[in-house]
Amino acid sequence: MAWIVGAFATVGLTLPAMVMVLVPGLRLTVFRMAKLWGRICVWATGCTVDTDGLADLDLNGRYVVVVNHQSALDIPVLMSVLPAEWRTVFWAKKSLFKIPVLGWAMKTLGHMPVDRLNRRTASQTLFKSQQRIENTRSLLVFPEETYGPEGGLLPFQRGSFLFALKTGMAVLPVGVWGTRTALPPNGRLVTPTPLRVCFGVPIPTTDLPVSARAELTEQARRMITGLSQPPSSV
């Protein structure tokens, strides 16, 4: 049921969005539609989503949002709670852009493919990202690049942190909990589960040199480790 509703939501919302994004003045509406898409997908799973720390953040902020990755549910869950005002686009694995309708919409709406197998294209990704990110837009990245282990994190790739340092955008650590239980990697059936998205304190980068990439990566990793723990452990 969840997959069927998600498919209809994807077609019903992304096709009009692909047209609307070309009309000046309607870009915020497009991101509101993306938020609605996430909410519909999550509703169809029977899961509930609780957020923490979001009310303390600036709706007009501009962030590189870095999140732990546990499940295919992570993107709809995050899109359902991220403020439309952030106009968030994301880096996603290249194969997603080959999916009919979804892939076309992702490309049209400004999301960017990442080739995990070819690190030589990393500089091109950074350059294209800098061209596409506007003053009122944020970037969502899973720095693990794939599903992390249950209860832990894989090593972080540093591309998103380099991007933050080069653009002066604040790094916003976010922890997601419960999505792996709801839909494990390679799973097909969704188990209704209470989900939690915890927003940390933004890390400013405007006064940091590019050479601080490793330290910035480690700081964000420590914060995400704490933010992604079960509610009883926080």
Please tell me the predicted confidence (pLDDT) of residue 137.
Answer: 85
Provide the domain limits for residue 138.
Answer: 2-233
Q: What's the burial of 85, exposed, middle or buried (CB within 10 Å: 0-12/13-18/19+)? A: middle
Answer yes or no: pTM beyond 0.85.
Answer: yes
Number of separate domains in the chain: 1
pLDDT in tens, 18-71: 777 777 778 889 889 989 999 999 999 999 999 999 999 999 899 999 999 999
| Pair 63, 48: CB distance under 8 Å | no
Please tell me the predicted confidence (pLDDT) of residue 150.
Answer: 84
| Pair 224, 174: CB distance under 8 Å | yes
User: What is the distance between the alpha carbons of residues 221 and 234, in angstroms, rounded to a whole number?
Assistant: 16
Query: In sequence order, which residues have a C-beta less than 8 Å from that of residue 86 and are 6 or more positions away?
Result: 31, 59, 61, 62, 63, 65, 136, 137, 138
Length of the chain: 234
**Which segments of the chain have a pLDDT < 70?**
1, 3, 8, 11, 101-102, 115-136, 232-234
Q: Name the token pair of 3.
A: 């997959």
pLDDT in tens, 127-142: 566 666 665 689 999 9
For the domain that residue 181 is a member of, what is the CATH number? Answer: 3.40.1130.10
Please tell me the predicted confidence (pLDDT) of residue 234.
Answer: 45
